[in-house]
Structure 1
Amino acid sequence: MYRHALVIGKFYPPHAGHHHLVRSAAEVAERVTVVVMASAAESIPLADRVSWMRDTHAVDETVTVTGVVCDAPMDLDSQPVWAAQVACMRAAVRRVTAVPVDAVVSSEKYGDELAQWFSATHVSVDPARVTHPVSGTDCRADLPARWDDLAAPARAGLTTRIVVLGAESTGTTTVSRALAERLRGRGGVWARTGWVSEYGRQATVDKLDHLRRERPDASMDDLVWTGDDFAHIAAEQTRLEEAAARAGSPVLICDTDAFATTVWERRYLGEFAGHAVAPERRALYLLTDHDGVPFVQDGIRDGEHLRADMTRWFEDALTATDRSWVLLTGTLDERVQLAERVVDQVLRVNTTFADPL
């Protein structure tokens, strides 16, 4: 057993081969430091890669993950470049431990020389990539084809999230379900495209049922909403979304999200009260217009007279928070067709990565 093993990588993105390397290091060393090295040229933020690696290796108690931004060029024949790269590595290691590195674990040909810079032993792991024949280059070149080579945290982070939201009885559920079915019909990895239902609706039904156990004649007008209600709905909506993102395809369709809950909180409690919290993550929003959609009262909806105001509130809230959104109008088929075009457009962007240095 070595005392302290070092694993270096871009993890751009982290994949099964990377995780095999880290776990192999944990088998030969008492402690392992993983240094994620990113450059300004790359399009996955360092913080995301560190977070995904930490989440994936949370069960590996001897593994510590840290990161550093390094914009030194790549040149294995230049000693000054080696010195610049290693300086960043050493600084990253010092952030988490003072224990000297005595083993460098890698699958790269340059592993021997890197180990010499640390006066350590090089432990080579599967240099031919037989156990996991995948590379970061492969993943960046065709992310959907390599989707199953990613661990759940990276999949969740790289999933393109499409949120359908809108006023009551404007077709958010119908459109989002139809969109998910169209994507599943493409087959392959897309067959696992997830659809996340609106938890707030179920919470409303449960709240009304609970009240009717005490007052059988109670109606929606008798419900009293609190900040805690909206905080719970937003948190549960986010939990359901995150679970689906970890298990689905490269795109996830959501019938509302925690951000929409903040707008509904305004509807029931006045100005944005801040109890419902929306996570900071990238999504594209499809807003279903109320115009041209007949209102259907299902027993828990407020009424048609509020729909125009709610549509404007969503437009204003989406714009004020710099969220990307597209208004869906026309017939159901026209709305779904536009939604599918938007998904394909954003997928092309989200699955294209900048070249590393």
Structure 2
Amino acid sequence: MYKNSMVIGKFYPPHAGHAHLIAAAAAQSENVSVLVQGNRFESVTVADRTRWLSVEFADTPGVQVIAMRNDCPEDYHSEEIWKAQNELMRLALKSSGVTSIDAVFSSEEYGVQLAEAFGAEHVLVDLSRTTYPIGGTLCREDLGVAWPYIIGPARQELATRIIVVGAESTGTTTLARALSEHYRPRFPRLVDVSEYGREYTYEKFDALRAERADAVLDEMVWTEQDFGRIGARQNQMENDAADVCPLVIADTDSLATTLWERFYIGEHSYGSYHAAEQLPHRDLYLITDHEGVDFEDDGWREGEHRRAEMTEWFKETLTEKGHSWILVTGDHHRRMQTAVEIIDLILAQRSGFTSPPWATRTVLDGAEA
């Protein structure tokens, strides 16, 4: 067992190969310092990468993840640049209470030179990347392909989340399904995140009918606990979808659940508010306009006369919470055109990993990846 080991990397973004390297170091060391290096030219902050790795290894004894700002150029053939880089690492370690290193774990050939600079042993782990055939370049260039390899905490925050909300019978489900079909050829693992509240309504009514066969819908009594379960389940469905695909299109969410709770029970009910406080990050809300859309009574709806009020609630709430939202109006074609135009731009922005000019590419099995 080594007493103090070090792992360095950009972790841009952190993936299964990185996790394997850190786990290998942890298995052979009392303490492992993971230096997360990030520079001003990269579009994912070093703080985010550090947090994701900290969550991933929260239950692994001895692992300490350290954020390290590093705007120094890279040049493996320059002794001066090596010294500048090493000093940044030494001070990052020193600031976290680490003054000596016994081993440097890496999957790179430069690990030998780095270990020598710290008077440590070099431990090479899976140089050929056969255990996990993944590199940072592939992750940055094609998130869809690389998604299963990116660590779980990073997937949750890197996923682009589009939430469709609106009053009853305003085309929310129609739009959400159409968007999913539009993007599924590009993202084959895209999951339909349906409105759990509707499913729960069916289950609740079936339970009432089991007690009394002649029961009618108006006799159902809604409680805070009902909306608490709906909100929590809606969050879980959304996060499960983000775990398997970098694009999430959801037909409502737990924040919308708080408004439906207000609609059915009143201002005094807060059963779903805890779930809404656990809301994952949002990229965009699409509010379906009630104007120009005929109300279709499918036997489960009761809010035709309150559609305008409910639409206003969505606008007010999303504005107060500081979320980005667009009112999608017009016919279905126009709504899709509006939605797709902005979603395409968001996807391009969210998947655009910028790098400085000296950044090197990971090469796997003789091919760039």
For Structure 1 versus Structure 2, the TM-score category normalised by the shorter chain is 0.7 to 0.9
1:151 Cα deviation after fit? 3.5
**In structure 2, distance between residues paired with 1:282 and 1:118:** 43
Post-superposition Cα deviations, 1:194-221, rounded to whole Å, max 9, x if no partner, equal: 2111111112222222233334443333
CA contact (8 A) 1:7 1:104 kept: yes
Partner AA of 1:355 in structure 2: S
> Where do 1:69-88 residues align within 5 Å?
69-71=68-70, 73-74=72-73, 77-78=80-81, 79-88=83-92
**In structure 2, distance between residues paired with 1:32 and 1:84:** 18
The TM-score, its normalising length taken from structure 2, stands at 0.83
Report the secondary structure of 1:192's partner residue.
Answer: coil
Counterpart residue number, 1:66? 65
Supply the RMSD in Å over aligned alpha carbons: 2.8
CA contact (8 A) 1:70 1:85 kept: no
The TM-score, its normalising length taken from structure 1, stands at 0.85
Report the secondary structure of 2:92's partner residue.
Answer: helix
1:148 Cα deviation after fit? 4.1
Counterpart residue number, 2:367? none
1:88 Cα deviation after fit? 1.2
Describe the shift of the 1:14–1:29 C-alpha distance in structure 2 as closer, same or farther (beyond 3 A).
same
CA contact (8 A) 2:33 2:93 kept: no
Post-superposition Cα deviations, 1:82-107, rounded to whole Å, max 9, x if no partner, equal: 22332113334x3xxx7964211012
**In structure 1, distance between residues paired with 2:298 and 2:40:** 52
Counterpart residue number, 2:315? 315
Counterpart residue number, 1:91? 95
Counterpart residue number, 1:354? 354
1:297 Cα deviation after fit? 1.7
Alignment: residue pair count = 348
**In structure 1, distance between residues paired with 2:260 and 2:185:** 33
Counterpart residue number, 1:326? 326
User: Which of 261, 266, 272 does residue 262 from structure 2 map onto?
Assistant: 266
Counterpart residue number, 1:214? 211
Partner AA of 1:67 in structure 2: I
Q: After superposing the two structures, state which structure 1 stretch, 332-341 or 147-156, moved more.
A: 147-156
CA contact (8 A) 2:40 2:71 kept: no
1:122 Cα deviation after fit? 1.6
CA contact (8 A) 1:262 1:272 kept: no
Post-superposition Cα deviations, 1:209-268, rounded to whole Å, max 9, x if no partner, equal: 2233334443333333332222221111111111111112x2111111111112222223
Counterpart residue number, 2:189? 192
Counterpart residue number, 1:102? 102
> Where do 1:50-199 residues align within 5 Å?
50-57=50-57, 61-62=60-61, 64-71=63-70, 73-74=72-73, 77-78=80-81, 79-92=83-96, 94=97, 101-116=101-116, 118-127=118-127, 129=129, 131-132=131-132, 134-186=134-186, 190-199=187-196
1:164 Cα deviation after fit? 0.9
| Runs of 5+ unmatched residues, structure 1 | none
Report the secondary structure of 1:191's partner residue.
Answer: coil
Partner AA of 1:266 in structure 2: R
